[in-house]
Structure 1
Amino acid sequence: MSTRTVAPLLKLVVFAAVTLLLTALLAQTLGAFPPGGVTYRARFTDVTGLLPGDDVRVAGVQVGRVSGIRVVDDTLAEVTFTVTSDVPVATSVRAKIRYRNLVGQRYVALSEGPGEGRPLRPDGLIPLGQTTPALDLTVLFNGFRPLFTALNPEDVNKLAYEIIQVLQGEGGTVSSLLQRTASLTNTLADRDAVIGRVITNLNGVLGTLAERDQNLDQSISQLQQFVSGLSADRTAIGESLVSIGELTDATSSLLRDVRPPLAADVRALDELSGTLNRNAAVIDSTLGRLPERYESLTRVASHGSWFNFYLCDFDGNVAVSGRAPLDLPTFSAPAARCAGGSQ
């Protein structure tokens, strides 16, 4: 095997060994306690949120895990848990369910009770009088809701966690809790001007709305009527849309068919306009003589929807081949209608 192959293989083996070792340590840390622990039982009035696998702690140090939960006597919960054999548990022990974090995880906390008790036998029972259920966070936080609504999420989390710790006896005192609450309240008091302006502006908006409530009601009523009318005519509207679609298709087809002759007509119109433009003088002269011509035609057609022609004057000659022209007799009518000129 060459040196180039051995070096990468050695690195791979070392990496795999370290990975397996760390994985084993993680599994031992997160997994159940090794066999040999002692099992005990405790009864509570409420174990909501406690699950098998949750921690069992003494003075904040993990010493075991919850192995099972069941209902006894129809109203009580019996928790079975295992504690390492090197941790003594006496008959005077106190068991409390406490919150591990704000997410809702819980654990069983064991503490020594008053007096000197005997060692608790394996599978021994901690009675109901020596257990304490977890705090009801819903009732607790409802009391602080007005304060929480005015804080940012980070301050809410810090204050809520300190409240839980104080009431569970895990940290601080009620005095320190009140001091922190007072500091948060002072922060709100420092912003009273901003809050006052917001309330004033809100009052102005609400006042404007109150002054125009009739218009607003009327607008809402008209909108409701409009929407109701659309809803009632939705069938007709749908059919109209279908008809519009069909009309659009037909119009598109018509325009497609008409386009070639329409283009030819446009070209012919262009030629006509050019011709008219080139003969503008003739057209102007013709239009200028039309009134006189129409007046003469009116006299001719004055007796009905036909034209009357009268011979008022006549003269002429006849040309004969090889001879001088022959003059014809001249004729002139004496009628009054011929007095205006030759017809």
Structure 2
Amino acid sequence: MTGTIRPLVKLLVFAAVTLLLTALLAQTLGAFPAGGVNYRARFTDVTGLLPGDDVRIAGVRVGRVADIRVVDDTVAEVEFTLTEDVPLATGVRAAIRYRNLVGQRYLALTEGPGERRPLRPDGLIPIGQTTPALDLTVLFNGFRPLFTALRPEDVNKLAYEIIQVLQGEGGTVSSLLSRTASLTNTLADRDAVIGRVVTNLNTVLTTLATRDRDLDRTITQLQEFVSGLAADRTAIGEALVNLGDLTEATSSLVGEARPPLAADIRALDELAGTLNRNSAVIDSTLGRLPQRYESLTRVASYGSWFNFYLCDFDGRVSAAGQTLNPVTFSAPAARCATGGSR
């Protein structure tokens, strides 16, 4: 049992410490504690200021805005609460300032000239001693040409520095002008590059201007060509259709002729092999053909037939296994003489 109670006690102690620290943190970051002294301040413009926003002196949070209302039809009255240990004098000045670029604002109190008489509770700070917030729209519109040439992170940094300088929270006008001058030099360098691009473009346009007649002629001829195609679009369309039909018919014809063509190619391959193997016989035959053609020409010179004469004949006759005497015949005609046709 003891082994179970000890971890439980540790868990309870840890939870109690955590809750205490969380409460302290919530009290520090949360709403301003109740109580304190109420004061009022009148402004010509309190756009962006909301109930619950901070009231600060020298950057230290000393109170909060309690209420905002309109008085005298055109004046905004801000009611705020300060801790009791922060007294205000009648010459105090109030200004609405930006906490960040998101738009959050706070009420800043500063010591002003004049008597040091304390301001009574629920006392009023008149319009002459208050300053409304900067109009960021008007301010940033003046810097728009500069912002358009910068990266977003540079725009945010420069804008925040501008607000701080103009609200008197940090930096000086000299430092702001120094940074602005640096950015302006960067833009000037870019402007030089743009100037060179424009100069080069001017050279290109000058070259085109010297060739304007050739360019005009080319454009005119192209326009005529396109117009001719447009005028013959019907004939061109029909020709394309007919070409498609021809292609389809040709493809079917080639498909039908492919098997016989393949067989013929194989037969030609065999024929070529046979001729190559008998090249000697073919050469000998071709060499004797002129003489044979000459003899045939003499034989066929009498008409469209061939005349043959039997000049010599010899042979043997075998019968019943016996060979008879050879038979010989020789014609005495002159044409059978040596050198005649046979």
What TM-score do the two structures reach when normalised by structure 1?
0.56
Counterpart mapping for 1:167-246 below 5 A: 167-196=166-195
State how far apart, in whole Å, the 2-side matches of 1:96 and 1:75 are: 18
Q: 1:6 to 1:196 in 2, by over 3 A?
A: farther
Q: 1:202 to 1:88 in 2, by over 3 A?
A: farther
Code of the aligned partner of 2:33: P
Q: 1:84 to 1:201 in 2, by over 3 A?
A: farther
- Indicate the residue corresponding to 1:83 in structure 2: 82
Counterpart mapping for 1:255-274 below 5 A: none
Shift of 1:114: 0.6
Q: Deviations over 1:262-302 (max 9, x none)?
A: xxxxxxxxxxxxxxxxxxxxxxxxxxxxxxxxxxxxxxxxx
SS at match of 2:47: coil
SS at match of 2:65: strand
Counterpart mapping for 1:263-342 below 5 A: none
Q: 1:48 to 1:199 in 2, by over 3 A?
A: farther
State how far apart, in whole Å, the 2-side matches of 1:134 and 1:187 are: 31
- Indicate the residue corresponding to 2:9 in structure 1: 10
Q: CA RMSD in A?
A: 2.9
- Indicate the residue corresponding to 2:28 in structure 1: 29
SS at match of 2:177: helix
State how far apart, in whole Å, the 2-side matches of 1:33 and 1:176 are: 36
Q: Deviations over 1:197-235 (max 9, x none)?
A: 6667999999x9xx99xx9xxxxxxxxxxxxxxxxxxxx
State how far apart, in whole Å, the 1-side matches of 2:170 and 2:75 are: 29
State how far apart, in whole Å, the 1-side matches of 2:145 and 2:134 are: 20
Larger Rg: 2
Shift of 1:6: 3.2
State how far apart, in whole Å, the 2-side matches of 1:124 and 1:63 are: 17
Q: 1:6 to 1:118 in 2, by over 3 A?
A: same
State how far apart, in whole Å, the 2-side matches of 1:51 and 1:184 are: 35
State how far apart, in whole Å, the 2-side matches of 1:148 and 1:159 are: 9
Q: Deviations over 1:177-199 (max 9, x none)?
A: 00011111222233345444666
State how far apart, in whole Å, the 2-side matches of 1:64 and 1:13 are: 36
State how far apart, in whole Å, the 1-side matches of 2:182 and 2:198 are: 23
Q: 1:202 to 1:35 in 2, by over 3 A?
A: farther
Residue 60 (structure 1) aligned with residue 55 (structure 2)? no
SS at match of 1:47: coil
Q: Deviations over 1:31-70 (max 9, x none)?
A: 2322331100011010000000101011111110000001
SS at match of 1:191: helix
Gaps of 5+ in 2: 209-214, 220-342
State how far apart, in whole Å, the 2-side matches of 1:134 and 1:32 are: 23
State how far apart, in whole Å, the 2-side matches of 1:6 and 1:205 are: 91
- Indicate the residue corresponding to 2:287 in structure 1: none
What TM-score do the two structures reach when normalised by structure 2?
0.56
- Indicate the residue corresponding to 1:153 in structure 2: 152
Aligned residue pairs: how many? 212
Larger mean CA deviation between 157-166 and 185-194 belongs to 185-194
SS at match of 1:169: coil
- Indicate the residue corresponding to 1:231 in structure 2: none
Q: Deviations over 1:81-101 (max 9, x none)?
A: 001111110111111111111
State how far apart, in whole Å, the 2-side matches of 1:76 and 1:205 are: 63
SS at match of 2:145: helix
SS at match of 1:9: helix
Gaps of 5+ in 1: 216-343
State how far apart, in whole Å, the 1-side matches of 2:82 and 2:202 are: 62
Q: 1:25 to 1:199 in 2, by over 3 A?
A: farther
SS at match of 2:164: helix
**Which portions of structure 1, spanning 4 or more consecutive aligned residues, are displaced by more than 4 angstroms?**
196-206
